[in-house]
Structure 1
Amino acid sequence: MRANKDELIVVTGASSGMGETTAYSLAAMGYHVLGGVLSADEADKISRPNIEPILLDITNGENIDSLVRRITNDRDKRPLRALINNAGIEFNAPFELLGIDEWRRQFEVNLFGQVSIAQRMLPLLRASKGTIVNITSVGGRVALPNYSAYAATKFAFEAMSDSLRREVKTQGIKVIVIEPGGIRTHMAAYSGQLSLNFAKKMSPKHQRLYRKLVDQAVASQTNFLRHAMSADAAGEKIAKITVKKLPRTRYWLGADAHMTIPMASLLPPKAMDWVLALSRRFS
C-alpha cells in the first residue's frame, strides 16, 4: 500500500486503546490523522508527526461543526480519505438493575454520536469517494448476559452500518464494519471492575439473583483478555483495512470473534445459550 500524505483520516476515540494505535499506524503510513480526544492532556499524549489532535466529543454538535470546518478549510486542500468511528463507552450490569439513564448514555455515545458525525462527514466522503469504518463488536452479533445495554447499542450500530452501506454504495462511498472480540485495552479491563463495583452495591435480594452472574461474566472476560489480541495488533489491522481499495463488508478481530460469530450463525438459539452458559461455568 502506498502512503499518501495528501489525504486526511479522522479517528474518533483516538486517545487510547485501538483508536490510539490505529492513529499511530495510519500516521506511520504517511496519512495525516485528525485524532479525536476529549481533553488537552489526551491531545498532548497522542500528538506526534502526522497526528493532529482534535477536541471531539461525538455527542457535542459544536465539536463536530468545528471538525467539519477544519477539514473544509484545510490549508493544503487535502481530501478526507476515511472516517473511523471508534469512540465508545461500556458499562455492564444486569438488565433489571441498569438505570434507564445509563441505557441512554450508552446509546448517546455508541450510536447517536456515531450517526451525528457520519452524517456530517458524508458530503466530504462523497467528494473523495472515501470510506467509513465502523468499529462495532462481537457484542453486536452475540448478546451475552450482563451486557444488555452495550450489546443493544452495538446491534443497532451494525444495523445502521448495513443500511448506510446500501444507501451510499452508488455514491462511491465504502462502509466497512469491524467486529472486535476481546482486545487488551484499558476500557476492557476497566469495564470489568465497574461491573464488580456495581455488584457490591446491589441489595441482598439482587445479590442472590445476580451476583454470581456478574462474577462469572467478569471472570470470563478477565481470563480471556490474558491471551487476547493486543491493542497494538488490532490498531495495525484496522489501519490496513481502512486503506484497502477493495475491502470486504465485515472483518473480525480476535480469536473469540472468529469462533463466536460463526457459531451464533450456525447453532439454534437454545444451543447457543447452552454453549455460553457452559463457558461461563468453567471461567
Structure 2
Amino acid sequence: MTQPNKNELMVVSGAATGIGAATAQELAAMGYHVLAGVRTDGEADGVRAPGVEPVTLDITVPEHIESIAERIADDPEERPLRAVINNAGIEINAPVEVLPLDLWRKQFEVNLFGHVAVIQALLPFLRTSRGRIVNISSVGGAAALPIFGAYAGTKFALEAASDALRREVTAQGVQVVVVQPGGVRTEMAAHSGKISLERADKLSVEHQRLYGDLIKSTVAANTAFLKRALPAARAGVKIARAATTARPRARYTLGMDAAFTIPLARVLPARLMDRVLSASHRSQRNTSSH
C-alpha cells in the first residue's frame, strides 16, 4: 500500500530493470517521488508509475546529469532531494589478459566515473537537505572472482571513493552508505554469463587453451547460484530501507553469499581466500550438474 506523500525527491540511476527498478518501486510505495534514471523511451514506459517519474539519465553523458540537476532545482513543488541511489552498472567479464582495454575503460566509465559525476552534480542539493548518498557496490568490491577483474576493480574503486566521501561530508550533514549485494537475480547478472561465453568462443586457440575451461566453469557456477539467489524485489526493499532509515550503517550486505564472503575477505590470508573461493565454485558446479 502506498504511504502518505513524503514530499521529497529520490534519484535512482539504472532504474529500468532489476535492482534499480525494484528500489524505485519500493521508494514510491513508501511515499517518495522517485526520479528513475533510464536511457530510452521504451524503458521510460516500462517504469512509469504513480510516484515514479522516468528521466533520461545515462550517467556517462554530462548533459543528462545537468538535466536531472535542473529538474531537481526547478521542481514545481520545491521538494528537497532526500537521497541519491547510485545503482547504474554494466558487467563484462573475461580474464585480465584478454579483456580489451576499451572494455575495461567502459566499465570504469559507468561503474565509477559516472557515479562520481552524479555525486558532484547533486551533492549541493543533499547538503541543503542533509540527505544521503547510497552507492551500490558488490561482493566483488571485497573479493574478486576469476574473470571478474574489471568489474570487481570498478567496485573496489567505488568502495574506496565511498569511504573517502563519507569522511569528507559527514560534518556537512550528508550520509554516505554502501550496499554490497551478492548474487541477485537480475537481467544484467543473467546476461553477463552469456556475454562471457560468447567472448570465449572468439579467443585465440592459445587463449582458449589457457582460459576456456576457467571461463566455462566460472559461468556455470554463477549460473547455478543465481537460480537460488536473492530476488531483485527483495534487494530493492533492503536498499530502500538503507536509503531512508534514520540511523544507517556505513555498509549493508545483501544475500547470504555477501554476508559470508565479505567478512572472510577481511580476515583470511589471500592464499587461503583463494582456496575458499575455488572450493565454493566447485560446489556450485557440482550442484548444477545434478
In the other structure, the counterpart of 2:224 is 223
SS at match of 1:232: helix
Alignment of 1:150-169 (within 5 A): 150-169=151-170
Alignment of 1:25-174 (within 5 A): 25-174=26-175
SS at match of 1:95: coil
In the other structure, the counterpart of 2:260 is 259
Quote how far apart the aligned CAs of 1:277 are: 1.7
* Identity fraction in percent: 56
2:208 aligned partner, one-letter code: Q
Rounded Cα–Cα distance in structure 2 between residues aligned with 1:211 and 1:269: 24
1:110 aligned partner, one-letter code: N
Quote how far apart the aligned CAs of 1:145 are: 0.6
Quote how far apart the aligned CAs of 1:3 are: 5.4
Quote how far apart the aligned CAs of 1:17 are: 0.1
Rounded Cα–Cα distance in structure 1 between residues aligned with 2:249 and 2:213: 40
In the other structure, the counterpart of 1:191 is 192
Which TM-score applies when normalising by structure 1? 0.98
SS at match of 1:53: strand
Rounded Cα–Cα distance in structure 1 between residues aligned with 2:105 and 2:225: 29
Rounded Cα–Cα distance in structure 2 between residues aligned with 1:243 and 1:214: 39
Q: Report the number of matched residues.
A: 282
In the other structure, the counterpart of 1:246 is 247
In the other structure, the counterpart of 1:9 is 10
1:258 aligned partner, one-letter code: A
Quote how far apart the aligned CAs of 1:211 are: 0.5
1:161 aligned partner, one-letter code: S
Rounded Cα–Cα distance in structure 1 between residues aligned with 2:248 and 2:5: 18
Quote how far apart the aligned CAs of 1:239 are: 0.6
Quote how far apart the aligned CAs of 1:5 are: 2.7
* Partner deviation per Cα, 1:17-45 (whole Å, 9 max, x = no partner): 00000000000111000000000000000
SS at match of 1:15: coil
**Once superposed, which parts of structure 1, at least 4 consecutive aligned residues long, lie more than 4 Å away?**
none
Rounded Cα–Cα distance in structure 2 between residues aligned with 1:171 and 1:219: 46
In the other structure, the counterpart of 1:236 is 237
Rounded Cα–Cα distance in structure 1 between residues aligned with 2:282 and 2:77: 57
Quote how far apart the aligned CAs of 1:254 are: 0.6
SS at match of 1:97: coil
Quote how far apart the aligned CAs of 1:4 are: 4.5
Which TM-score applies when normalising by structure 2? 0.96
Flag structure 1 segments of 5+ consecutive residues without an equivalent.
Answer: none
RMSD: 0.9
* Partner deviation per Cα, 1:248-275 (whole Å, 9 max, x = no partner): 0000001100111111122111101111
Rounded Cα–Cα distance in structure 2 between residues aligned with 1:29 and 1:278: 41
SS at match of 1:96: coil
* Partner deviation per Cα, 1:53-91 (whole Å, 9 max, x = no partner): 000000111001110110001010000000000000000
SS at match of 1:81: strand
Rounded Cα–Cα distance in structure 1 between residues aligned with 2:119 and 2:34: 17
Flag structure 2 segments of 5+ consecutive residues without an equivalent.
Answer: 286-290
2:160 aligned partner, one-letter code: A
Rounded Cα–Cα distance in structure 2 between residues aligned with 1:276 and 1:199: 22
Deviates more, 1:2-11 or 1:136-145: 2-11
